[in-house]
A and B are shown apart, each in its own frame.
Chain A
Amino acid sequence: MSGEVVLEARSLVKWFPTGSSKLLNRPTDMLQAVDGVSFSLDRGTTLAVVGESGCGKSTLGRLLARLIEPTSGSVILDGTDVTAASSKELLALRRDIQVVFQDPYACLNPRHSIGQSIGTPIRIQKTLSRAGEKERVRELMGLVGLNPEHYNRFPHEFSGGQRQRAGIARALALSPKVIVADEPVSALDVSIQAQILNLMEDLQRQLGLSYVFIAHDLSVVRHIADRVAVMYLGKIVEIGDPESVYDTTAHPYSRALLSAVPVADPRNASRRTRIVLTGDVPSPVDPPSGCRFRTRCPKAEARCATEEPLLVDAPGRRAGEHLVACHFPD
């Protein structure tokens, strides 16, 4: 690990207006999708962001690539403030940060050939001539394990895994520094997921890529993450090196999330103690006071309702190795 920061989020906040009053002509409620998220990503490494639906992980991914505007806070990409960039500057910045989406069926234009789709960023950015683009696309197809001879085929002629390879090739077209991958394997079959995860690892080594890998389950990220962040209702509740987060989990929510992962080994299943959380995730429009997890937390006490826990070093860990936002961490 080089230790050099390539991407940094500083107190990112994104509130979506929801519900509106005709009389006052302004939104009445705010959905707090991302509420004060900070982290840094080292060059050539992978940060995994894990959480359940509605925790704000996808919104965070979109903020990082500035597909949406933050309410406040900033994103620093290699020393440049992405959030303050003008639209012209932003076009140049997009060469450095690209996104891979979850649904390989929805992210490719069905009327464009695979080759055209992969070459789209090159045409928009005008980085290469038409002939150069074709050459580059064939090279990219080879790189992600697609047959370059299939350049003129259309998305419906490919399987889900192959389409996701095309999505990755498109994200690589401009040789970005950072790729935000939003659940890139969730829509794929188990045997194909492993292929795509291995491909992403190979590409990271070959090209020195940095990943922000968004996932909803902790088992997927165990293989690829150099740093794991667990989100709950718009906030990071725990972040640290995977060995520390998985083996000495500090936050009660992360513990529940880990214990809920079904394990495909019947001998293990009976040994594990499962923490089943009661109830549902509260609404992000009206999150609980104090600690947002307290309404479902087995350890919650009076203090949790009044005082919001800060993200600080977990007890007994090296500074920065493993941070947790809990009044009663393990």
Chain B
Amino acid sequence: MTLLSVRDLRVTFGTADGDVHAVKGVSFDVSPGETVAIVGESGSGKSVTANSLLRLNFGADVRTSGQVLLEGRDILAMSDEEVRHVRGREVAMIFQDPLTALNPFYSVGRQIGEAYAVHHPEASKKELREIALDSLHKVGIPEPGKRIDQHPHEFSGGMRQRIVIAIALVNSPKILIADEPTTALDVTVQAQILELIAAMQAEHGSAVILITHDLGVVAEITERVMVMYAGRVVESAAVADAFVTPTHPYTRGLLKSVKSLDSVRHERLESIPGIPPSLINLPSGCPFHPRCAHADSLAGRCSTEVPELRRVGPGSSACHLPDERLLNLLGGAHER
């Protein structure tokens, strides 16, 4: 059964310099309880895709098309009132920076209670306080009875992110969208938060859509990964497949650029040459072709024809190279 189905999502921002095509035809499905990661670098369209799921792309000139079907209901076609019932209740979101996500003027207990009260107007003050207390306890805040009346500035970065998670989960949403939830945190705190997200997911049975640039984080907690580049999904596969035998040259390049703990001193890192393209003036054909080592081998096809996402091996890849070459991008043995 499909919980969320995104069909041909396109998002364009009109700017003074021209149209920015942030998302160019993204489709994917999420099943209940599943963890899916969307990976990409700055400007790949991963955050815009995530924001679209709750219609959170704001701006003077935002054009969105396609469908975001939550159990068959199209979020993009809903009235503002209907979307408000989805936000925070059926689909909740955790943002990167927990300090800006929280209101500095209100106690954390009040903010958790408020998130519940929005969807449960009948709840009494006493009930709300109990719910907040219970939430703080569940996300591992020590001494919740004392901390409930404190304000965000009295918490550390990791504790604040726990509170943001408590707010997101207070209505037991079906889907939790986590946009770079650990990027602003230290690495030991990141480990704590990833464990918490996994534990909370197990408890609530929510599906998690994780947006990140960190392939390590993906490998730690998700089952399926979509790699985005210049507004398109270029590879989609199970993590166990994509990271061991990547079937898109960009994914391969990303994996090779990742710094490894067991490398040798002064070993040269393999890097992807060039820089990500401008979303206003995308290269013709495959958006990755100016940086791709294989682009010359197909007699100009890469610079003229946009590759569609197609089935390659156990996953899918948007590349013109023949399957047997895509399945062997790492040159036989996985030597990392």
Give A residues with C-beta under 8 Å from B.
Answer: 52-53, 159-162, 189-195, 197-198, 201, 216-220, 222-226, 242-243, 246, 256-269, 274, 276-277, 279-281
Contact = CB atoms under 8 A, between A and B. Distances in A.
B265 A194 contact: no
Minimum-distance CB pairs A-B, first 4: A262-B216, A194-B271, A264-B215, A52-B186
A262 B336 contact: no
A46 to B, nearest CB: 9
Nearest to A277: B188
A94 B262 CA distance: 36
B270 interface: yes
Nearest to B216: A262
Interface in B238-283: 239-240, 243-244, 253-263, 265-273, 275-276
Interface in B89-127: none
Interface of B: 41-42, 142, 156-159, 186-192, 194-195, 213-220, 239-240, 243-244, 253-263, 265-273, 275-276, 336
Given A190-B41, A201-B268, A226-B265, A265 B336 contact: yes
A161 B268 contact: no
Most chain A CB inside 10 Å of its own CB: which residue of B192, B194, B215, B271: B271
B272 A191 contact: yes
A216 B186 CA distance: 8
A265 B266 contact: no
Nearest to B278: A159
Contacts of B142: 279
A263 B216 contact: yes
A242 B244 CA distance: 27
Contact of A264 (B258, B269, B271): B258
B219 A191 contact: no
A274 B192 CA distance: 10
A195 B187 contact: no
Given A260-B191, A263-B261, A190 B219 contact: no
Nearest to A205: B266
A62 B117 CA distance: 48
15 contacts: A190-B214, A190-B215, A191-B257, A193-B257, A195-B273, A218-B261, A222-B260, A223-B265, A224-B266, A260-B190, A261-B187, A262-B217, A264-B215, A264-B216, A266-B244
Nearest to A253: B188
A134 to B, nearest CB: 26
Contacts of B187: 52, 216-217, 257, 260-261
A263 B268 contact: no
Contacts of A189: 41-42, 213, 276
A190 B239 CA distance: 18
A220 B187 CA distance: 12
A152 B265 CA distance: 38
Given A190-B254, A201-B268, A226-B265, A264 B276 contact: no
Nearest to A259: B191
Contacts of A256: 188
A259 B195 CA distance: 13
Contacts of B42: 160, 189
A131 to B, nearest CB: 32
A223 B270 CA distance: 11
Given A219-B259, A258-B261, A264-B243, A195 B220 contact: no
B72 to A, nearest CB: 33
B228 to A, nearest CB: 13
A192 B213 CA distance: 12
Most chain B CB inside 10 Å of its own CB: which residue of A160, A220, A222, A246: A222
Nearest to B225: A266
A190 B188 contact: no
Contacts of B157: 53
A37 B41 CA distance: 37
Contacts of A281: 156, 186
Contacts of A198: 268-269, 271
Nearest to A283: B156
Contacts of B215: 190, 264
A242 B275 contact: no
A160 B41 CA distance: 12
Nearest to B159: A280
